[in-house]
Amino acid sequence: MAPWGERLAGVRGVLLDISGVLYDSGAGGGTAIAGSVEAVARLKGSRLKVRFCTNESQKSRAELVGQLRRLGFDISEGEVTAPAPAACQILKERGLRPYLLIHDGVRSEFDQIDTSNPNCVVIADAGESFSYQNMNNAFQVLMELENPVLMSLGKGRYYKETSGLMLDVGPYMKALEYACGIKAEVVGKPSPEFFKSALQAIGVEAHQLLSM
């Protein structure tokens, strides 16, 4: 691998993940990862454009940013690219009214979205809300549509909490795909459109980017 000086030569912007990079989530708001508060401050004081790009979909941006600010990070809502607002934009553009199979913590992001008489399903890391009943509701909505649209906020397999490994949204996306014989549209990493929207927000091209 090329030395840092060389690798950074053409770099104009930095995308920073949040969970596992800036902080570890957990009870009581989680803990900042050593050195990360200072690293963010230095990056924002440099000539580099900084954008926070996360697949967090159990919390609204407001809640996430509040948590990070309490840990000492210099971060505001407008600097965060997250799947829920990205999904809202797509829903509006395409006139889609979702059945929401999501965590209550992120529901406020969808406040402006019409969810009456649903013509698509949006699933996110819903945790305990992944009940049989809720999954079956989502399934029934999809089966009644001529062109079923399933939008998944990320497709992670699992993540780690202090209590152990936890199923993420991906397995439940696969379950609905198999049940309905369809393919989900993934909003969030690793979707190229999602990265592009983060880049557009800071006016940086992909080849000018450092992502971590």
User: DSSP E strands: which ranges in 147-196?
Assistant: 150-153, 158-161, 164-167, 185-187
The answer to whether 133 contacts its own copies (rule: CB under 8 A) is yes
- Please say which residue, 114 or 144, places its beta carbon nearer to its own copies: 144
Which span (16-24, 76-84, 163-171, 191-199) binds its own copies, by CB under 8 A? Answer: 163-171
In whole angstroms, what is the distance from residue 8 CA to residue 24 CA?
27
Distance of alpha carbon 119 from the chain centroid: 22
Rule CB under 8 A: choose which of 30, 66, 72, 127 binds its own copies.
127
Applying the rule CB under 8 A, the residues between 47 and 66 that interact with its own copies are: none
Q: Which stretch binds its own copies (CB under 8 A): 7-15, 46-54, 111-119, 171-179?
A: 171-179
Q: Which whole-number Å values give the CA distances from 43 to 2, 91, 173, 202, in the listed order? A: 21, 34, 36, 14
| Contacting residue, 170, 194, 199, 204, with its own copies by CB under 8 A | 170
Which listed residue (143, 190, 196, 200) binds its own copies by CB under 8 A? 143
| CB within 8 Å of 37: residues ≥ 6 apart | 71, 72, 73
Query: Is 46 among the residues that bind its own copies (CB under 8 A)?
Result: no
Q: How far apart are CA 42 and CA 189, in angstroms?
A: 26
Segment near its own copies (CB under 8 A), from 6-14, 19-27, 93-101, 123-131? 123-131
24 and 30 in contact (C-beta within 8 Å)? yes
Does 183 interact with its own copies (rule: CB under 8 A)?
A: no
Task: HSE, CB side, 13 Å, CA atoms: give it for residue 12.
Answer: 9
- Write out the residues near its own copies by the rule CB under 8 A: 126-133, 135-136, 139-140, 143, 157-158, 164-168, 170-172, 174-181
